[in-house]
Amino acid sequence: MQWTNNERGYGWLSIALHWLALIAIIAMFWSGFAAENAGELGDRAARRALMGFHTAFGASVALILLARVALHFLQRQPTPVPQPPALNFISTATHKLLLLAILIQFISGPLAIWSGGRDINVFDLFAIPTPFAERNEAVHEGAEVAHAIGRWMLLGLIALHVLGALKHAFIDRDGVLRRMLAPAET
């Protein structure tokens, strides 16, 4: 069983972290946008419950997302398929920026909560205490802006990533998508 990446494709560890990260990010988008909508509708109880889920779930999957980013830099990457240099650049930039956007969310989310003077409550099982002695408005506002920027970066880059995957699957038919579904046979 191929656990790590090689020149021909991704290993099971990269594949699993890729799809787990996707599921986590979808859940985070859903809960974050649903909380925002509830707030705009004036439903404070729903907003509080959804943000509680968003925060707790984010804390629960943080290490998976961090592992996804770290593993990209710790393992060899498969050899890219031949394509024009401009498309290689777009593909590489999109992937690196996706990883950066995940890191922005990983840092700014907890920082926004902690700098607001709150601990991170994880499904009422335990709390991750704030390192701040009191509310820090400047850090709080900066973290919230960074979190919003990271969110929109992720949305745009995921769309570009999916379009690239569809291009490889249906136009190029070069097996790139297949590499993210199962390791190449040796």
Domain boundaries, the chain: 12-179
pLDDT (tens digit per residue) in 75-95: 999 999 999 999 999 999 999
Instruction: Look at the block and give the residue holding tokens 């009191």.
Output: 134
Q: Which residues contact 174 (CB under 8 A, 6 or more apart)?
A: 81, 168
Distance CA 140, CA 137 (A): 5
pLDDT (tens digit per residue) in 113-148: 999 999 999 999 999 999 999 999 999 999 999 999
Distance CA 163, CA 27 (A): 21
Mean pLDDT is lowest, of 52-56, 96-100, 156-160, 178-182, for 178-182
**Whether the predicted pLDDT of 1 surpasses 90:** no
- pLDDT at position 185: 77
Average of per-residue pLDDT across 153-169: 97
3-state secondary structure of 122: strand
Q: Which residues contact 64 (CB under 8 A, 6 or more apart)?
A: 17, 20, 21, 24
The domain defined by 12-179 folds into Fumarate Reductase Cytochrome B subunit (1.20.950)
